[in-house]
Amino acid sequence: MATKNIPEHGYTEDSIRSLDWKEHIRTRPGMYIGKLGDGSSKDDGIYVLLKETIDNSIDEFVMGYGKHIEVNIQDGKVDVRDFGRGIPLGKVIECVSKINTGGKYDSKAFQKSVGLNGVGTKAVNALSNYFRVQSIREGKTKVAEFKKGNLTLNEKEKACSDKNGTFFSFIPDESVFMNYRYNSEYVNNMLWNYVYLNKGLSIYFNGEKFFSERGLSDLLDRNISDEKLYEVIHLRGDDIEVAFTHTTAYGEDYYSFVNGQHTTQGGTHQAAFREAIVKTIREFYKKEFDPSDVRTSIVAAISVRIQEPVFESQTKTKLGSLTTAPDGPQIRGWINDFVKSELDNYLHKNPLVADAILKKIQQSERERKDIAGIKKLANERAKKANLHNKKLRDCRAHLNSKHIERQESTIFITEGDSASGSITKARDVNTQAVFSLKGKPLNCYGLTKKVVYENEEFNLLQNALNIEDGLEELRYNKIVIATDADVDGLHIRLLLMTFFLQFFPELVKAGHVYILQTPLFRVRNKKETIYCYSDTERRVAIGSLGPKPEITRFKGLGEISPDEFSAFIGKKIRLEPVLISQDETIHQLLDYYMGKNTPERQDFIIGKLRIEKDVVEPELA
């Protein structure tokens, strides 16, 4: 048998490298802060940098030091100042530049803390173009500055009359976080969660005060955008706090926390709470309700504090711990006992609330039985359709395995064959899927969930996303609506957003739905091509390219070649998150835009037309 020629790869002792701490973080940032991103998603890396910095100040507050924290973000630069004990001056540099160094290993100095791994501010330091730390402690201060983890300034200790505490400043490295910007809505939500979970704490963000008196009850009141069927049930115990209510919306919506960390992907504590609610309700009413009937339309928050929590990733978005402490009780039993005792007592003392819960469960039960037959047939049709048509062009990882790291997966929802064809040819087949719509979707505002199974497009889309039973099995982290920037495209965008808000509002609230921004113009000469996403960018491009450049107006996604499209859905993708304003409910929002044609909406449209006319006509003149 002939021996195949095996290429020589030069695998020698010289191939073995040892990276120092900053090189390792910068080479593999995803191991420390999850995905990078540009700030358009709430779990992008720049928010992890902010959170890791603030977490140190929160741990100080939990230990009884420093009742307020100051956060300022201007032009991409972040400042965080707390009034805790301050880092011991002799260890300031080590605490921000030496892995596995920190005070959180001392359980007496920091109890039930999040930051147990000694990595947090080191990752911030290594991934920042500028990083400054100042500790003020007992009349003295110490300052150090870094660039990409390299020490650039090491001031000697000196006298200082300021209050004790720690002051961090950093500017994320633009070579790592390209074109990043902080979304104030995401920062606001993060800071509100901190004050909801830490009674007595005040946070000042760019001068605005964040403070909560009622904890998780305030959290739900701020985040619920539908009618509550009864006042929020708020239960507190040692190291555990829960709050919940039922609303008129579909789905389940949970906010779960461990030691102040927002576990956006849930974990053992959230699963235990969901089980406990069903078990307690069944025992109280002495009826074996279907779990989905009990939990449909529930909006709940749970916060627990445990010793030495184990998370399933460095970014701490999912709790893996099974016990409350190395020698403590099981989390599942602990939460079940608490909910059973406290909720049962509450329902006996509040019969009107108990009656409201029962009526909601019975309503959900009737609706579930009403659509059971339709649902079974629809799911069978969807399975056949996925095998025999080309509506869903799945990503390779999903085709090969039922499970994928959801953080990396995206699905584009497009209109028509031409647009889906361009995206399909340009996409990353490993992580990006494409779902092609056939015509305009139905306006589902005001309809019941029965329409999800009766309407083929909606049923196939629901199956593609795998969201029938909630977000736990959602197959894609980002759901991107990709429609033309014309009247028809905008209408389809509204119809899709109505579908998600009407039947799966938790998708939007959890930050999974986005709008794809594609260029409106291509401006080029023989040497350079500039893609422009607005009239302003077009005018700037014309000025920079000199006389008479070629200008192309893209009317639809199908007009953009796959080669060009690859630039718009790759590393430089521009996504606009779909966010719900705190000022109005989902019902009010949908009624205004998708309900009957009211005089208020007519005035709004006419006003927008006048603004566009005023902007365009002077330019044409």
One-character DSSP codes across 389-410: SSSEE--HHHHH-S---GGG-E
pLDDT at site 456: 87
Give per-residue pLDDT as tens, 464-517: 898 887 787 888 989 999 988 778 888 899 999 999 988 998 898 888 999 998
569 and 449, same structural domain? yes
184 and 238, same structural domain? no
| Stretch 391-405: mean pLDDT | 63
Amino acid at 150: N
Of 428, 416, 441, 438, the closest CA to residue 556 belongs to 416
279 and 196, same structural domain? no
> Worst-scoring range by mean pLDDT, 7-16, 312-321, 610-619?
610-619
pLDDT at site 220: 93
Kind of pairing, strands 478-482 and 521-524?
A: unpaired
Domain count, the chain: 4
Asked if 427 and 414 count as a contact pair (C-beta separation under 8 A), the reply is no
C-alpha to C-alpha distance for 73 and 302, rounded to whole angstroms: 29
The DSSP result for 200-265, as a single string, is T-EEEETTEEE--SSTHHHHHHHH--S-BSSPPEEEEETTEEEEEEEBSSSS-EEEEEETTEE-TT
255 and 123, same structural domain? no
529: containing domain: 521-553
189 and 302, same structural domain? no
172 and 312, same structural domain? no
Tell me, what CATH number does 508's domain have?
3.40.50.670
Percentage of residues in the chain having pLDDT higher than 70: 86
Of 304, 302, 351, 349, the closest CA to residue 325 belongs to 304
Which residue among 366, 401, 425 closes a domain? 366
Of residues 395 and 337, the one with the higher pLDDT is 337
Contacts 24+ apart (CB under 8 A), 567-573: 567/531, 568/426, 568/516, 568/518, 568/519, 568/531, 569/412, 569/423, 569/426, 569/427, 569/428, 569/432, 569/516, 570/428, 571/178, 572/178, 572/179, 573/516
In a domain, 567, yes or no: yes
Of residues 594 and 478, the one with the higher pLDDT is 478
169 and 104, same structural domain? yes
Is 49 strand, coil or helix? helix
pLDDT at site 8: 55
Asked if 531 and 519 count as a contact pair (C-beta separation under 8 A), the reply is yes
Locate 561 and state its tokens.
């070649």
C-alpha to C-alpha distance for 426 and 401, rounded to whole angstroms: 23
| Stretch 318-344: mean pLDDT | 88
225 and 194, same structural domain? no
Burial class (CB in 10 A: 0-12, 13-18, 19+), 35: middle
Which residue among 141, 175, 210 closes a domain? 210
Tell me, what CATH number does 279's domain have?
3.30.230.10
Is 478 strand, coil or helix? strand
151 and 97, same structural domain? yes
| Stretch 242-252: mean pLDDT | 91
469 and 547, same structural domain? no
In a domain, 42, yes or no: yes
Which residue among 210, 230, 256 closes a domain? 210
278 and 424, same structural domain? no
Rounded to two decimals, the pTM is 0.77
Is 520 strand, coil or helix? coil
In a domain, 130, yes or no: yes
Asked if 62 and 86 count as a contact pair (C-beta separation under 8 A), the reply is no
pLDDT at site 154: 93
In a domain, 615, yes or no: no
In a domain, 600, yes or no: no
In a domain, 37, yes or no: yes
Is 493 strand, coil or helix? helix
pLDDT band at residue 407 using 50, 70 and 90 as cut-offs: low
Tell me, what CATH number does 135's domain have?
3.30.565.10
- Selection from 58-67, 133-142, 450-459 with the highest mean pLDDT: 133-142
425 and 343, same structural domain? no
In a domain, 592, yes or no: no
Name the E strands within 164-212: 165-172, 202-205, 208-210
User: CA geometry: angle at 472 spanning 471 and 474, to 5°?
Assistant: 60
| Stretch 215-239: mean pLDDT | 91
In a domain, 2, yes or no: no
Percentage of residues in the chain having pLDDT higher than 90: 40
Asked if 475 and 481 count as a contact pair (C-beta separation under 8 A), the reply is no
